[in-house]
Chain A
Amino acid sequence: QVQLQQWGAGLLKPSETLSLTCGVYGGSFSGHYWTWIRQAPGKGLEWIGEINHSGSTNYNPSLKTRVTISVDTSKNQFSLKMSSVTAADTAVYFCVRRVIVTKRLDYWGQGALVTVSS
């Protein structure tokens, strides 16, 4: 059974850098894209970006200048960094596995609330 577990700082001040890591347990790490999606409080879902095991990335253009997604295949982990955060970045951040061929997003982490407040 595949499990995604995520961790990182939950409270940030404006202008700081958000940093989250997602560990993948079970299943194959290669052969998938590893995705970050966020959900502002009471709002819908926003796709942030994704990475595969070889480090190839795709980003949402609206966030691209502030976002870096990286991968550590030795640990079966991938990470999200978002610079210069503001209150608008307050959200629950989900890490998700995306299957390459069908593009289905089949396994989701539990979500991590990141609050940006002065």
Chain B
Amino acid sequence: DIVMTQSPLSLPVTPGEPASISCRSSQSLLHSNGYNYLHWFLQKPGQSPQLLIYLGSNRASGVPDRFNGSGSGTDYTLKISRVEAEDVGVYYCMQVLQIPYTFGQGTKLEIK
């Protein structure tokens, strides 16, 4: 199985400040077609996860442009340019290159 490792696991952030989450995979997620099969989700308290970023860097419909995904191969980053109170929750990366699809452990973002 591809192991996904996120850091940090806990991320206290002051509103208006930027935030960054790292996700590393045990194998490259870059397919020969040029796409990185890596998605980012946010699970707000008491809710189902919601898709933020797909294929490494594409914002899902309705996702604010303060969320940006980057990276390739085995190293990926989710950046929030200016954190807002509504961004609180647990962020997960997920690889969809190889079955079984696997998730990172999650990064809990909280407001300072």
Contact = CB atoms under 8 A, between A and B. Distances in A.
B50 A102 contact: no
A76 B70 CA distance: 36
A104 B103 contact: no
Contact of A103 (B48, B92, B96, B103): B96
Contacts of B104: 44
Interface in B58-112: 58, 60-61, 92, 94, 96, 99-106
5 contacts: A44-B105, A60-B99, A94-B49, A98-B96, A109-B48
Dominant secondary structure of chain B at its interface with chain A: loop
6 interchain residue pairs of minimum CB distance: A104-B54, A108-B48, A60-B100, A103-B96, A47-B101, A45-B103
Contacts of A61: 100
> Interface centre among A59, A60, A105, by most B CB within 10 Å?
A105
Contacts, number: 52
Contacts of A21: none
A44 B99 contact: no
A2 to B, nearest CB: 11
Interface of B: 37, 39, 41, 48-51, 54-55, 58, 60-61, 92, 94, 96, 99-106
A60 B99 CA distance: 7
Given A60-B100, A104-B39, A111 B48 contact: yes
Given A61-B100, A105-B39, 20 more contacts: A45-B49, A45-B106, A47-B101, A58-B99, A59-B100, A60-B99, A62-B100, A94-B49, A102-B54, A102-B55, A104-B39, A104-B51, A104-B60, A105-B41, A106-B51, A106-B60, A108-B48, A108-B49, A108-B50, A111-B48
